[in-house]
Structure 1
């Protein structure tokens, strides 16, 4: 009986501790007609983001934790290129003046270290210009205004046209 009480107490305490510690980069899902994006949302926390935490010229999982995944419910054009309906991992290669935005055929990857373009996994690669924000965006945010997917973090904003 005593062991049972100790075990029950440990379970209750452990559950309470977990409930009080939300993830540092929660999983966020945004959607619009015909498109849905799921990504980990890190915060700036005083860090240098692009060219620092996220190096220029290297593949980035475009968020935190596992890959950012995008689902098109209908065939689309993404950055002017045709894409079939389906779910894709979304990666980027940030640069100072433009980003390469990549749709990869293998969703739910653990991160950029699983990224594989050598086996023809990339479905689409498009270039998108970087614009500067006048204010600081504390949390990495992906939004889906009409006919676009927009990435914003720190003072950086990148937009890719999407049409159905």
Structure 2
């Protein structure tokens, strides 16, 4: 009986470890050609939500003493959601991002602050410079939840958090702002 119980506990622990390993996100930084960090380095965030592997490739600017939501990000204007090249979003499986159905594929993410709040824009055009935006290529827009971080975050980041099975949250953080939306894998 003890062997059966021990086997069951070990099996549950192993299952928990497997589930935990798919619930992590990894962010890596790309340096410049000379090996030194770029002023706004390219970052890659990867995560697994359900069976969908998600990659988010973005430029990570720093606050550098600026009022980023006045000097960099303008109300009612599309923002590249990072720096330099457009922010890439790739999913190996279909997702619900907020209320938007996103089929497996590659996309570009933009954001837009408005008087009514923040919007995440999922755009079908890929590979462009960050300021190149064609509204006709929008897959759709999702209202983001905005909250205040307890302390200022100097370097911009995009992360996949609170992963549990087929559910997670996409977070965009910079300065004192945390924008988020739920993600669900189909």
The structure 1 residue matched to 2:170, chosen from 149, 157, 164, is: 149
Partner of 1:132: 148
CA contact (8 A) 1:61 1:67 kept: yes
Q: State the aligned residue count.
A: 145
Does 2:137 match 1:116?
A: no
Task: Note the alpha carbon deviations across 1:92-149, whole angstroms, 9 max, x for none.
Answer: 102466211011001121012x1001xx310020111211112000000101112111
- Flag the 1:19–1:162 CA change in 2: closer, same or farther, 3 A: same
| In structure 2, C-alpha distance between the alignment counterparts of 1:81 and 1:48, rounded to whole Å | 31
- TM-score, normalised with respect to structure 1: 0.83
- Flag the 1:97–1:45 CA change in 2: closer, same or farther, 3 A: farther
| Structure 1 outlier segments of 4+, above 6 Å | none
**Structure 1, unaligned stretches of length 5 or more?**
1-17
- Flag the 1:24–1:128 CA change in 2: closer, same or farther, 3 A: same
- Decide which structure has greater strand share: 2
CA RMSD of aligned residues (A): 1.7
The structure 1 residue matched to 2:38, chosen from 11, 20, 23, is: 23
The structure 2 residue matched to 1:43, chosen from 53, 62, 67, is: 62
The structure 2 residue matched to 1:73, chosen from 92, 95, 114, is: 92
**Structure 2, unaligned stretches of length 5 or more?**
1-32
- TM-score, normalised with respect to structure 2: 0.73
Partner of 1:161: 182
| In structure 1, C-alpha distance between the alignment counterparts of 2:117 and 2:147, rounded to whole Å | 9
